[in-house]
Amino acid sequence: MSRKFTPIVAAIAFVAMTSGASALTIDSYDAFQGLNTSGGASSSSVSDGSILGTEREISITPISGTASSVTVNSGTNPGQISFANGVGSQSSVEILYDGVGTGGFAATDFTSGGADDRFLFNVKFADFTMNLTMEVTSAGGAVSEVSIGTPAPAFGDIPFGILYSSFTTQAGASGAADFSAIESLKMTFDTTVALTDLRLDFLSTADVTEIPPEVSEPGTMAIFSLALIGMAGYRRRLLKTA
């Protein structure tokens, strides 16, 4: 099935990354896991109380080359999930949260009683955009999904929010997923070019007070540029009056 990747959903970087009381932590990326494509496609799962549903399943499939990897909580980047692709290598990484086994975790309110309206990542580093597809499932085969591009280039702590309202009903599903009763979450990260690296340091739900309204990448850059122009103009006025 072909997917159309919409413009990046990103927020201005000058935002304190504080977690509100209502936020639901899906994965703090504190439980180690590591896979690579040196021997082709591979997959593994890890169980830990810091993971929603207590289990995270990851699979990595080479698109080209054999020098791709995904690592969670490495010694170099503790508390982060790292995607790395070497020279001539691209990959597709699927991350599944559906509890132990295949039945899904207990229905979980991703809205935190109506307070939360988006997923929130913290981007630590990105040199190129990766295509991200998120898929949520609730009872009765109801599935919603969204496909977007991750923000790049990015350095430091950049909040990256994805509104629930941006999800659409998946083709063939019985209906739209109920975000107040989610039973599984799947994320697929696909590289667009070789040598792509991406690091994230948590995944949670969030409300409007925890991150500004989403702005497309061109909009974000325009706002940032206007801020710089304004600062330069202010400095010139100071110099003239000095």
Query: pTM of the predicted model, to two decimals?
Result: 0.80
Q: pLDDT tens digits for 205-226?
A: 999 776 654 443 444 444 333 3
CATH class of residue range 9-213: mainly beta
End-to-end Cα spacing for the chain: 63
Instruction: Domain ranges for the chain, please list them.
Output: 9-213
Cα-atom radius of gyration of the chain, to the nearest Å? 19
Q: What are phi and psi of 66, to 5 degrees?
A: -135, 20
46-55, 70-79, 174-183, 219-228: the lowest-pLDDT one: 219-228
* Token pair listed for 125: 């580093």
Q: Give the pLDDT confidence of 15-29 residue by residue, as tens digits.
A: 333 444 479 999 999
